[in-house]
Structure formats: C-alpha cells, structure tokens
Amino acid sequence: MRSNLAVGLDTAKGLSLGLGVPFLGIHHMQAHALTPRLVNAMHTTNLQPCPKPDFPFLTVLASGGHSMLIQSTGLVEHSILAETQDIALGDCVDKSARAILPPEALKMPYGKALEDFAFPNGAQDYNYVAPARRQEELERRKTKWGWGLGPPLGEKTPRRMAYSFAGLLSSVQRFMVNKVDAEGTLLNEPRTPADISFEERQEMAREVQRVAFEHLASRIFLHLSSSHADNIKALVVSGGVASNSFLRHVLRAMLDVRGYQHIAVEFPPIDLCTDNALMIAWAAIEMWNAGYRCSLDVEPIRKWSMDPTAEDGGILGPHGWTVDAQT
C-alpha cells in the first residue's frame, strides 16, 4: 500500500509543479466525513458556501476496512469514540454473503448481493420494528429453524465503547455448516447446502444485517446518553456500507424510537459512499479555504490518525503543514 500511495503522491506533486496549482495531502477518512458537506455545497450558488452539517456532528465510517464512530467538532478535530476490535462491518457483511447466498445469487459487490437477496422488493420487505429499549436490542431472536444471532458484545460487555463483528460472522458460518437442535444448540453434525432452504437463507441474510446494523447504532446511543454529547444535531454516515438502504432505514428508525427525532441522518449519494476522487478534492477545498497549506516534501504515511489527541497528532501531526494567517 505504501508504494501505491507513493506513486499517487509523486504524480500529484508533479502535476502541482507543472500546472502551478496548490498541493495538499488529504486524509481519506476525513474526506469521507466531509462528504455530506460537499453534497450540500453542490446545491448552493454561493461562491463562499458555509456547508452543512455544522460542527459538531457524529460520523460513522463503515467500510470493508473501517468501522468507527467519530465526534467531529471541527475541520481537523475528529475524536474516535469507538472502533472495531477485530474485523470491519463491511468485511463481516461480505463474508456473510459468501456463506449464505446460493451460487446464482453470489456476485460482486458481495454486500450489495446480500442486501438484494434479503430484500428483493426493497423497503417493502423490511418489516422492521426498531428496539425501543436497550434490553430489547440485546435479545437473541430465535427463528423457526432453531438458530438465533446474538448481538456482538451484548452479554459480556454491553456498554463497552467498541465494535466487534468477528463473532457475528463466526455464528453465521457455523449455522450454515452445522445443524441446530430444537433448543437452539449448535450440533457437531454437518449440513449440506441442499439441507438449507431458500427461505432460511433469506432469513439469515436479513438477520445478519439487522444484528450488525443495530450493533453499529448501539454505540451511537451509548454516546448520546453520555455527558459528552452536547449539541449534536446530525449523524453523518459514510464509507462503502453507507450505500446499504436497509442500514439507512435501521438508523433512522432507531433514532426516532429512542427520542432523537431532531438528529438528522446525513448519507452521501450512493456513488459517493465508496472511495472517490471528488470527496478528496472537496476536503482539499475545505482545508485550503481554512488556510491550511502543505509543502511538497510530505511522504506517504502507513498509519495516520484523525484524532488530534493521538500520539501522531492527528490530521495536522505530520510535518509539512502550515497555516496561512491571512486566510
């Protein structure tokens, strides 16, 4: 990855010198968080827009490589409130699709294939009732096939500000290859693909998404119920998994039933949820307009935090950044 970044970085430096245009090194996760502000700015005719949402807001970054909840209090101030301790949400969803879907339904992108298989008629198939209380959220819903998917971290550390999706994925994989008795106990008896009906596969596809997305939402509510969540009026959801329409439905429904109707949920257009050049360009515009400048001697960074309290200093931690006081 470092060599790939070096090629892109050096190319950008050359273009900057050759064309006489500014050069800025942008944190791509910061760009995801700012994408809804890009969308807002695209709909204004003001040459100096004040994009929405205003800071502070909460940001959920959910992709194949990242799952984190961030409090964004400024352009370069993004504090990590919770992040995955094992695999990312997108990884869990993709691998669950490979375990659940029949061969004819398994196609890339796997997360989209899982959503389409679970809900072929879109929102008409959701039949979703959001848990009004934390206790309801922690309940394991037993299906008519005996199995039930438990919420991650639900039994041992229900209030820990962290995410975990590896256990949920393991449960899906085990239920798809081993039989379950009437009490819901996993047996050491293998089952063949022919033993699993279309209906059961579809229910598993729905349940893994429900449990995963409610787990993602659970840490949002833990933070909102704390004393550190003043004046939050928007929740930004970005990253590849943000393109999942059922996730959008779950988050809105849970916020409403828990009494947070005033919090707007900001999702980028689906084609801007995954990594894209437009979000990088917009983040650069915001940084430039705020007076941040970057020298040409910056190098690729293997790990780069967004949190200003981190050891590396966050977005402005690496050398090469300056601030134009006249901006």
In this prediction, residue 182 carries a pLDDT of 77
Distance of alpha carbon 244 from alpha carbon 207, whole angstroms: 14
Per the structure, how many domains does the chain have? 2
Q: Which of 233, 248, 271 is at the close of a domain?
A: 271
Residue 78 falls inside a structural domain: no
In this prediction, residue 132 carries a pLDDT of 93
Tokens at residue 128, please? Answer: 């979703």
Q: The domain containing residue 319 runs over which residues?
A: 2-54+274-323
- 240 in the same domain as 200: yes
- 281 in the same domain as 266: no
- 243 in the same domain as 295: no
Residue 68 falls inside a structural domain: no
Residue 112 falls inside a structural domain: yes
Q: Which of 236, 254, 271 is at the close of a domain?
A: 271
The pLDDT tens digits along the chain (327 residues) read 678 888 888 899 999 999 999 999 999 889 988 998 998 888 876 655 578 899 999 999 998 888 999 999 999 999 999 999 999 999 999 999 999 999 999 999 999 999 999 999 999 999 999 999 988 888 889 999 999 999 998 766 667 899 999 999 999 999 999 988 877 788 888 998 888 999 999 999 999 999 999 999 999 999 999 877 778 999 999 888 999 999 999 999 999 999 999 999 998 888 888 889 999 999 999 999 999 999 998 888 888 888 898 899 999 999 889 998 666
DSSP letter assigned to residue 214: H
CATH of the domain at 144: 3.30.420.40
In this prediction, residue 228 carries a pLDDT of 76
Q: Which helix (H) or strand (E) holds 323?
A: strand 321-323
- 212 in the same domain as 125: yes
Residue 70 falls inside a structural domain: no
Residue 60 falls inside a structural domain: no
Q: What is the pTM of this model?
A: 0.89
- 298 in the same domain as 266: no
Distance of alpha carbon 245 from alpha carbon 226, whole angstroms: 28
- 263 in the same domain as 129: yes
Residue 115 falls inside a structural domain: yes
CA distances (Å), 209 to each of 21, 22, 89, 106, 214, in order? 45, 43, 10, 16, 8
- 175 in the same domain as 39: no
- 119 in the same domain as 19: no
- 97 in the same domain as 47: no
In this prediction, residue 49 carries a pLDDT of 58
- 121 in the same domain as 21: no
Residue 67 falls inside a structural domain: no
Tokens at residue 31, please? Answer: 């760009």
Contact yes or no for 130/250 (Cβ under 8 A): yes
- 220 in the same domain as 120: yes
Contact yes or no for 214/141 (Cβ under 8 A): no
Residue 29 falls inside a structural domain: yes
- 93 in the same domain as 49: no
